[in-house]
Structure 1
Amino acid sequence: MTNPIVPGWYADPEARTYHGRHYIYATRSFTEYTRQMNLDAFSSEDLIHWKVHESIIEMDDFPWIWRAVWAPTQIEHNGRYYLVFASNDIQKDGEAGGLEIAVADAPEGPYRGYLHRPLIGEFIHGAQPIDAHLFKDDDGAIYLYYGGWGHCNVCRMNEEMTGFVPFPDGQLIRSVTPPGYVEGPCMIRKDGLYYLMWSMGGWTNGTYRVAYGVSGNPLGPFDNQGTILERQEPVAEGPGHHGYLYLPDRDEWLIVYHRRIIGDPEPGNRMLCIDRMEFAAGGIKPVIMTDRW
């Protein structure tokens, strides 16, 4: 395994495994992010040789998207594949865009419009509707974590994946913002514990990094348990906005993330990488970034 795993500039990876094949969904990373008008995916059986699946969204189904798409997340549900992604970088309520949802019959797409409107198109609890992460719990419940501008929300998807099921207190969307949260949530359940990870710092530079919190409940609370992925001389800086893979035959967890060349001033120059992620005593060990492992 060598890092970066594929050539070119990509960011915000989400990773899944279907039928023995690993998939990574990623943002096309441009400094001028208005050029990011579709998403690409990569698939591999061995994590070494990757096939590229370009332009996985049928963008004609989203005529209101004019500015950018980025930060995909994906989940299988009842034999279909759902993709949620951010669009248009909306700055206030009333602007078109937010979090979109699309559906496909295969992991690599093509993904077609599902609602003919955004899934979430407004600011709730202060969270910009970006950076979604779909998490399927052991009981089959699917949760959507999302949010930028320093606020993280969670909602539970309904069976049709068209909206949300109210929580017992009647709320559709709850705030679960942990201390230090900026954006890019990611959830893992392991041994009965819920590990919420998120990105801190600024995505355009070397301050970007990943912290985590642990709870016995998918709704938290999540205290900041520390940083697990950050600038590491001489390998890379600005690592973050990640997903993960689990290899059951090896009982091994991998973190799939983007990072930057140290000192590169170009914001869009981000690359896809994979490294090992280890758990210990109810926590996550600091990740060691590598060029080859």
Structure 2
Amino acid sequence: MSRGELLRFVTLASHEGAGLVRYRASLARFGITPDIVWTGKPYPGHLAAMRLLGAHLSALPAEDIVVFTDGFDVVLIRDPAELLAAYRVFDADIVLSAEPGFTWKLPGRFAASRRYPKGEGRSGMYRYLNSGGYVGKAGALAAMLADLDYATGVDCDQTLFNKWFLENPGRAALDHDLEIFASSACQSGLERKLYRCDGAQLVNTRTGGRPFFFHFPAENRLCTKHVLDMLPFELPRLPVRPRDRWKYVLNLIEGRPAYWLDRPAYPLEDIVGLLAFRLLPASIVAGLGILAWHAIA
């Protein structure tokens, strides 16, 4: 294996925890021990963590291929023997995970989303990047992290990645078809519609992608359970909490139109959330108030 074919699996962590145990267990199935960049506890924030990750990658041989994912909410679900080949199909130094949602904690969110290139994949949903998973040459990844606009002061890695992506066209490709990374972002409640197991691998029913990693951002453990239940092997589970069930229902209502229309979740989710969870309840309360007033009058 040549130097440029050396795969390294890297994550960030502030402490030991159940999610990190699960991540390690998923890699251990294939004999992989990841590099863990320890941030220190309490977690210092995303900006500091990205700088620590960049320093770690800068110390590696520039041509080594690095697979970075979050640690506490990610599992490896497919034998990575073919991961390098899947990465090379993109013909790009960096390949970033994709998702239906758009995170932008700077002014002008809608305008920024309209500047985004339209997805070129087999589904219209996975248009925007997800910073929880990417693969590329160590040197290219270190340069990307160094170029993030830390001066904004916005402690949101996904916002800074989106800004970098828009300002640096051609420097990275997005995994629109989920050939390497899949995510439950903005798709809670759709697990059994969007994925099936062919007996050995998880397959996205919209794109045909067979991801190596599954990411559960802001993890809803009920969603995680549904995905892990489809796999033909066992991984450690985190107990489902009451708030997971409540959020699951809310996210299901917000995300279903994007699934029906095969469109990105943004701005559809915001519109549905405004109508279903603000205007509709307000209208009901106002209507009941009017009825009560007339009854008293």
TM-score (normalizing by structure 1): 0.27
Between Structure 1 and Structure 2, the one with more helix by share is: 2
Q: Which has the higher contact order (CA 8 A, sep 6+)?
A: 2
TM-score (normalizing by structure 2): 0.27
Between Structure 1 and Structure 2, the one with more strand by share is: 1
